[in-house]
Amino acid sequence: MSAFDTIILLAGQREQPLLASILQNHNPHLTARSVLTLSDVRALEPELLRRARLVAFTTDVIVPPDILDHLGFGAYNFHPGPPHFPGWAPALFAVHHHATEFGVTAHVMAERVDEGPIVGVELFRIPSDIDLHSLEELACVRLAHLFWQLAKLLATQIEPLPELPIRWSGKKNSRRSYAALCGISPNSSKVEMDEGGKLAP
């Protein structure tokens, strides 16, 4: 096996420098490679993949199975919702269903989105007067905390992260169900369909 020396960060431009800094504080020898789009992911060299671990943070990019298979040190996703709200726009569906509990999840990336083994969870009670935007912001703060908790393992541990005895549950919401809830036509260009379970996180 190749030596682990690279973290591939699949995240927004604003988050990438901070995430890279946290990881490199734990392992100064790591190279952080930032990617934003599926095209960026596809352009990664096979030799780099063999030396790398991929970390995705609140992205809607679906990493193809052939990329996941070639990563030498696995891939992990930070999902802005709890295990009982897998799939697209978890905060929106939590508000719609009047949920009293929410949270965030870190998990192994698998071929089918939000189905990989879970390696980290933070749950919290939803304040009774919270709106959607505030719930998303609260989830983002908790997700950043969960990343901080797992950063040392992600940056230094060659072995896969320990899995928790927690399973995904609940309906996996898709972009189609999001469109229906928001009153957007399923044929609208605002909604990119991807059926068959391969949904955005």
Q: Which domains does the chain have, with CATH numbers?
A: 6-171 (3.40.50.170)
Query: pLDDT-based confidence at 200, cuts 50/70/90?
Result: very low
Cα separation of 146 and 195, whole Å? 30
Residue 196 has pLDDT above 50, yes or no: no
Q: Which two tokens stand for residue 109?
A: 């990336």
Task: Give Cβ neighbours of residue 192 (< 8 Å, ≥ 6 apart).
Answer: 175
Burial class (CB in 10 A: 0-12, 13-18, 19+), 51: middle
The type of residue at 55 is: V
Half-sphere CA count of 130, side-chain side, radius 13 A: 23
- Answer whether 109's CB lies under 8 Å from 63's CB: yes
Cα separation of 155 and 20, whole Å? 10
Residue 16 has pLDDT above 90, yes or no: yes
Q: Using alpha carbons, select from 7, 17, 3 the residue that is nearest to residue 44.
A: 7
Residue 198 has pLDDT above 50, yes or no: no
Q: How far is CA 176 from CA 34, 61, 80, 88, 111, in A?
A: 29, 16, 19, 9, 19
What pLDDT is stored for residue 186 in this prediction? 45
What pLDDT is stored for residue 37 in this prediction? 96
Phi then psi for residue 186, to 5 deg, are -60, -20
Where in the chain does DSSP place strands (E)? 6-10, 31-35, 52-57, 75-79, 101-108, 118-125
What pLDDT is stored for residue 176 in this prediction? 64
- Report the first-to-last Cα separation within the chain, whole angstroms: 30
What pLDDT is stored for residue 194 in this prediction? 39
Tens of pLDDT, residues 128-139: 888 999 999 999
Query: pLDDT-based confidence at 179, cuts 50/70/90?
Result: low
What pLDDT is stored for residue 172 in this prediction? 78
Residue 39 has pLDDT above 60, yes or no: yes
What pLDDT is stored for residue 188 in this prediction? 42
